[in-house]
Amino acid sequence: MFTREEGRALQPTRTLREFFKKGDVVLLLLCILASLMGLVLIYSGTRYMDALHSFPQKQAMFLCMGVAAYVWVSFIDIEYLMEKWWWVFLLLGLFVIALIYPFGEGGDSGNKSWVYLPIPGFPGFQPGEIAKLAYIVVLAWMINKERPKGLGRFSSIVKYVVLTGVFSGSLAVLSGDWGMVVVYLFIFVVMAWVAGVSKWWFLGVGTPMVGGVVFLWHFILPRTKYWDDYRIMRFRVVVEHWKGNNLDPRGHGWQQNQSLAAIGSGQITGMGYLNGTRTHSPSRETLPARHTDNIFAVCGEEFGMIGCCAVLLVLLLIILRCVWVSRRARSHMSAYIAMGIAGMLMIQTMINVAMTLYIGPVIGLTLPFISYGGSSTLTLFIAMGLVSGIKMRPLPSWLKDRSQL
């Protein structure tokens, strides 16, 4: 059972007035604005697809649930909970990933990134999305615990790497979702860098890894059966595109060719809302995944470069707001959590836009707040609620002057 203090951390009894006074209302408004932008694009992208007619209504419901979750989580003192119950968050994150083994399902990509429990009416969800938050808070707790001993000690580095390897490795093995693995690795780099881990550790580990990947790509993989595997082909078509070639344009390169053509047809100002030719085609193949992975292409076709810049600007403001909260956090651990969430948003945005512009491989990452998805939307608003909660926690007396910065 929880103590009185733990109960107060979990059960917000304070009024909405206190939230509007101390919580991060600016961040909430930015998240709502981004989600409304996404809702507009989702409606356009699914308008002529009978099977997806209900998606805008569902996304609106997820948005309302997300706002409620944001406010509730803002009252939770995550730092206090982690001091007492860090192992619960660790086990919960790994348990959610483990559900992929018996209940994981996927689409044509082969990734088992969705879990459908055998419960009537229970919606499917993405374990990788939920486990991200558990990973961020546990890694922040671990880094904070290692500070007195020295963050650059070999034993400390091993602990961070093992935690990251367990989360990302189990996700890769069970689901094959390498896109989410990249997100976890980037979050680790951001949080470790912010914590003060020496750059020599990154160079010492990163350089051999990059060299190994280059060696495998040029000398090993072309001589194996895996060279034509769909995962490798996703990278091959992009590399050939960089060289000016169009490898497998009607196969593995089809989605990105279509998204690039949609963005190009929008030019500066776009073709107008609800006027996109590829966006409104009843055939899914004309612009695949237009409400999820390729929603940025919908924006480019109908609102042009101006619309794309507006979407990216709002997402950038959300990321910068997380960084701002991190710099004013009451403790190192809270700062790590806020920066980890900022890193999560940054890498997902970069990869999704790169996929759409055909400068990065298709690895199944959606655009934060913009793409359709229940588990993604709720996870993002909960993450933002954690950032808002960090802002609500008062600074210690000896750091009061920092609040004026």
Residue 396: per-residue pLDDT: 56
**Rounded distance, CA 156 to CA 164, Å?**
13
Q: Tell me which residue range forms the domain holding 92.
A: 21-393
Q: For residue 208, is pLDDT > 70? A: yes
User: Mean pLDDT, to the nearest integer, of 39-48?
Assistant: 90
Query: What's the confidence (pLDDT) of residue 398?
Result: 45
100 Cβ contact partners less than 8 Å away, ≥ 6 residues apart: 112, 113, 115, 127, 171, 174, 175
Residue 290 confidence (pLDDT): 87
What is the chain's mean pLDDT, rounded?
86
Most confident of 60-69, 206-215, 221-230, 361-370: 60-69
Question: Do 78 and 337 touch, CB atoms closer than 8 A?
Answer: yes
The answer to whether position 190 is within a domain reads yes
Q: At 288, which amino acid appears? A: P
Which DSSP state fits 279? T
Residue 28 lies in a domain: yes
Q: How many domains are contained in the chain?
A: 1
Residue 405 is predicted with a pLDDT of 38
Query: Residue 244: which residues within 8 A CB-CB, separation 6 or more?
Result: none
Token couple for 136: 């961020």
Higher pLDDT, 212 or 52: 212
Structure tokens at 255: 């989605």
Give the phi and the psi of residue 295 in degrees, each rounded to 5: -65, -25
Note whether 135 and 89 are within 8 A (CB).
no
Residue 16: inside a domain, yes or no? no
d(CA 49, CA 44): 10
HSE-CB at 91 with a 13 A cutoff on CA atoms is 4
> Using an 8 Å Cβ cutoff, are 163 and 142 in contact?
yes
DSSP for 12-48 reads --S-HHHHHHHS-HHHHHHHHHHHHHHHHHHHHHHTT
Q: What is the pLDDT of residues 245-298, one digit of tens each?
A: 877 777 778 888 888 889 999 899 999 998 888 888 887 788 888 888 899 999
CA distance 67 to 45: 24
- Residue-wise pLDDT tens digits, 135-153: 999 999 999 998 877 777 8
Helix axes 78-98, 332-356, angle to 10 degrees: 40
Could you tell me if residue 11 is inside a domain?
Answer: no
399: in domain: no
For residue 107, is pLDDT > 60? no
- Are the beta carbons of 35 and 350 closer than 8 angstroms? no
For residues 58 and 108, the model is more confident at: 58
Q: What is the pTM of this model?
A: 0.89
- Summarised one tens digit per residue, pLDDT across range 177-187 is 788 888 999 99
Q: Which of 126, 122, 123 is nearest to 104 (CA)?
A: 126
Q: What's 246's DSSP letter? A: -
Overall average pLDDT of the 310-335 stretch: 94
Question: d(Cα 259, Cα 357) in Å, to the nearest integer?
Answer: 7
List the structure tokens of 323: 């960084």
Whether 4 is covered by a domain: the verdict is no
Whether the predicted pLDDT of 397 surpasses 50: no
pLDDT score recorded for residue 69: 94
Two structure tokens written together for 101? 């083994």
Task: Convert the pLDDT of each residue in 152-197 to its tens digit.
Answer: 788 888 898 899 999 988 888 888 778 888 899 999 999 999 888 8
- Dihedral of the alpha carbons of 166, 172, 173, 176, in degrees to the nearest 10: 170
Identify whether 14 is part of a domain. no
Q: Is residue 337 situated within a structural domain?
A: yes
